[in-house]
Amino acid sequence: TLLVLPRDSTKAIAQVVQQALKPIGINLKLDIPEIGQFVQQWKNSDFDAFVSLNSGTIEPDDYFYRTFRSDGSTNVFKYSNAKLDGLLDAGREETDPAGRKKIYKEVQSELACDGPVIFLTYGQIYTAMREDVEGYKISPNRSLRSLATTYVAD
């Protein structure tokens, strides 16, 4: 059974996965509850697998620490990896950008080989604006934070 966040995009992804698994004999049942029930099941780790929209910010600690550290606040997988915990702690302590990049590259490698998640898709970000718009910055996590400093030039 696949728990599915009740949004058009996640339902579509779940249906594609369901169809892709049929030829190898896996009959995937989709559970698409209302949002409150989805959140409750997710928080309680009451799922075999799930499809949702998960992301962090451009700061890697924001998502990795809470999601994959053994005692992370959103570690609904109950995933535990002492090596990864050490890397995540080191990432929080390192202040040198090059050092942090090295640590989080290793975090990603560890998760790719041992992690509890398969990321199936990433959304495309499309942005269009007039030439006289200034101050807007495209963020990879779709944050609109830069709108606070965006203006139309004279």
- Co-location of 42 and 76 in the same domain: no
Stated pTM of the model: 0.74
The pLDDT score that the predictor gives to residue 113 is 94
Mean pLDDT of the chain: 92
Question: Across residues 31-49, what is the average pLDDT?
Answer: 96
**Tokens at residue 42, please?**
């997710």
47, 97: one domain: no
Cβ atoms within 10 Å, residue 68: 24
Helix (H, G, I), strand (E, B) or coil at 49: strand
Among 56-70, 77-91, 123-137, the range scoring the smallest mean pLDDT is 123-137
Q: Are residues 15 and 29 in the same domain?
A: yes
Domain that holds residue 31: 1-53
* 44 and 28 within one domain: yes
